[in-house]
């Protein structure tokens, strides 16, 4: 065994990573609960995705705890066994982490396609995510069948390539979406504040996961015999899940801030997944119907305006002096 291996230090970092991962599972579960409570009529595919990722996160946490139990309890004071064969839970956690990250990247790449209308970019991001996941499968098999020291000597470049591709995909998605939103902001005449919030959320999501992935790769290259990179890696899957769930749950807050939304910006909000279904002030129509409802300030009477646009917007207005012109028969006029 290499004399540079510090058993107590590595067990400590492993325990910290497992503990933080378990705490983040609570945050992930809370975010998922909030999503299902607020958006019961979201598309079935989105609700299935959230449930699938939550299930994978529970499995990932269980695998992380099992690997720590094996190293610290079953193989107590036998550090040589760490280098003979990796625990089953550890190899499984690597596979689950790669699967969760790829699913989240595929979702955000599809969101980028809706916003930017650039199919080629989404195809590129999906292809890189697929390569990343296939590399994760290969990495998992290598770690499972090979002693750890042999893996470090012959195949550690596989892990570096997988993490590098993951970071590149995160940066590409965040950067491409941000540039397109900045261009839209320059053309917009209203609601620039909402666009600023969307841009900030997009950048923060990409930076969080990409910076964590880069940190894992740097620690792995600099300290391959120390499990600092493994402790950080135990939290990576949770950060991907939290970024997705937080993005979905942020729609209600953004819609509360946008009382009157121009048609083009409303289309952008829907395409960016920022439209939600107000429960107390009317039903939000499904995304398939391409309509949104927004609440205006409450006043005694209740009228409704329909605006014809690429994405139709049904606005429920409550005002004694309606802000929308009517024709001679009292019907709300429509605008192209």
Shared domain check, 291 and 146: no
pLDDT computed for residue 217 by the predictor: 92
Asked if residue 158 belongs to a domain, the reply is yes
Q: What is the pTM of this model?
A: 0.71
- Identify the domain containing residue 115 by its residue range: 7-249
Shared domain check, 292 and 181: no
Shared domain check, 291 and 224: no
Q: For a pLDDT cut of 70, what percent of the chain falls above it?
A: 69
Q: Give mean pLDDT, residues 158-166.
A: 92
| CB distance 324 to 333 below 8 Å | yes
The neighbour count for residue 35, using CB atoms within 10 Å, is 22
- Lowest mean pLDDT segment, chosen from 52-56, 86-90, 221-225, 254-258: 254-258
| Number of compact structural domains in the chain | 2
Whether the predicted pLDDT of 142 surpasses 70: yes
Shared domain check, 167 and 106: yes
Shared domain check, 224 and 265: no
Shared domain check, 107 and 152: yes
Asked if residue 2 belongs to a domain, the reply is no
Asked if residue 245 belongs to a domain, the reply is yes
Whether the predicted pLDDT of 193 surpasses 80: no
CA–CA separation, 249 vs 255, rounded Å? 11
Q: Between 306 and 258, where is the model more confident?
A: 258
Shared domain check, 119 and 172: yes
Reading across the β-sheet that carries 303-307, which strands appear in turn?
Answer: 292-295, 313-317, 303-307
Shared domain check, 234 and 198: yes
Q: Between 240 and 286, where is the model more confident?
A: 240
Question: If pLDDT is split at 50, 70 and 90, which confidence band does 177 have?
Answer: confident
| CB distance 321 to 301 below 8 Å | no
pLDDT computed for residue 308 by the predictor: 33
Q: Give mean pLDDT, residues 262-286.
A: 46
Whether the predicted pLDDT of 160 surpasses 70: yes
- Lowest mean pLDDT segment, chosen from 131-145, 211-225, 270-284: 270-284
Cβ neighbors of 177 (< 8 A, separation 6 or more) are 108, 111, 112, 115, 116, 202
The DSSP code for 237 is H
Shared domain check, 204 and 72: yes
Cβ neighbors of 267 (< 8 A, separation 6 or more) are 309, 310, 311
Q: Name the 3-class secondary structure at 84.
A: helix
Q: Quick one: how far is CA 225 from the chain centroid?
A: 31
Asked if residue 329 belongs to a domain, the reply is no
pLDDT digits (tens, 9 = 90+) for 323-335: 334 445 444 344 3
Shared domain check, 56 and 193: yes
Cβ neighbors of 146 (< 8 A, separation 6 or more) are 154, 155
pLDDT computed for residue 309 by the predictor: 31
Q: Name the 3-class secondary structure at 259.
A: coil
Shared domain check, 295 and 152: no
Q: Give mean pLDDT, residues 198-216.
A: 83
| CB distance 249 to 283 below 8 Å | no
Shared domain check, 130 and 50: yes
What single string gives the DSSP state of each residue in 51-83?
A: HHHHHHHHHHHHHHHHHHHIIIIITTT-THHHH
Q: Between 323 and 272, where is the model more confident?
A: 272
Question: If pLDDT is split at 50, 70 and 90, which confidence band does 85 have?
Answer: confident
Question: If pLDDT is split at 50, 70 and 90, which confidence band does 188 have?
Answer: low
């Amino acid at each position: 065994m290499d004399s540079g291996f510090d058993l107590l230090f590595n067990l400590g970092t492993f325990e910290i990573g497992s503990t933080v991962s378990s705490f983040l599972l609570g945050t992930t579960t809370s975010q998922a609960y909030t999503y299902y409570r607020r958006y019961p009529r979201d598309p079935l595919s989105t609700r299935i995705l959230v449930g699938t990722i939550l299930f994978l996160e529970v499995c990932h946490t269980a695998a992380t705890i099992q690997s720590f139990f094996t190293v610290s309890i079953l193989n107590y004071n036998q550090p040589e066994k760490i280098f003979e064969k990796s625990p089953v839970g550890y190899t499984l956690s690597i596979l689950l982490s790669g699967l969760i990250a790829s699913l989240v990247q595929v979702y955000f790449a599809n969101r980028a396609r809706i916003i930017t209308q650039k199919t080629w970019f989404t195809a590129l991001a999906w292809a890189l995510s697929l390569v990343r996941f296939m590399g994760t499968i290969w990495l998992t098999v290598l770690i499972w069948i090979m002693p750890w020291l042999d893996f470090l000597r012959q195949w550690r470049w596989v892990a570096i390539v997988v993490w590098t591709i993951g970071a590149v995909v995160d940066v590409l998605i965040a950067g491409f979406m941000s540039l397109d939103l900045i261009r839209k902001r320059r053309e917009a005449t209203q609601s620039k504040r909402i666009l600023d919030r969307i841009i900030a959320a997009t950048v923060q999501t990409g930076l969080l996961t990409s910076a964590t992935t880069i940190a894992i790769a740097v620690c792995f290259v600099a300290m391959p015999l120390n499990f600092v990179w493994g402790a950080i890696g135990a939290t990576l899957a949770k950060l991907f899940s939290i970024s997705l769930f937080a993005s979905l749950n942020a729609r209600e807050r953004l819609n509360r801030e946008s009382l009157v939304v121009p048609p083009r910006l409303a289309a952008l909000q829907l395409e960016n997944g920022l439209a939600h279904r107000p429960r107390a002030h009317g039903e939000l129509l499904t995304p398939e119907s391409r309509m949104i409802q927004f609440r205006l300030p409450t006043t005694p009477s209740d009228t409704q305006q329909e605006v014809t646009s690429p994405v139709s917007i049904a606005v429920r207005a409550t005002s004694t002096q309606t802000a929308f012109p009517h024709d001679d028969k009292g019907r709300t006029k429509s605008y192209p």
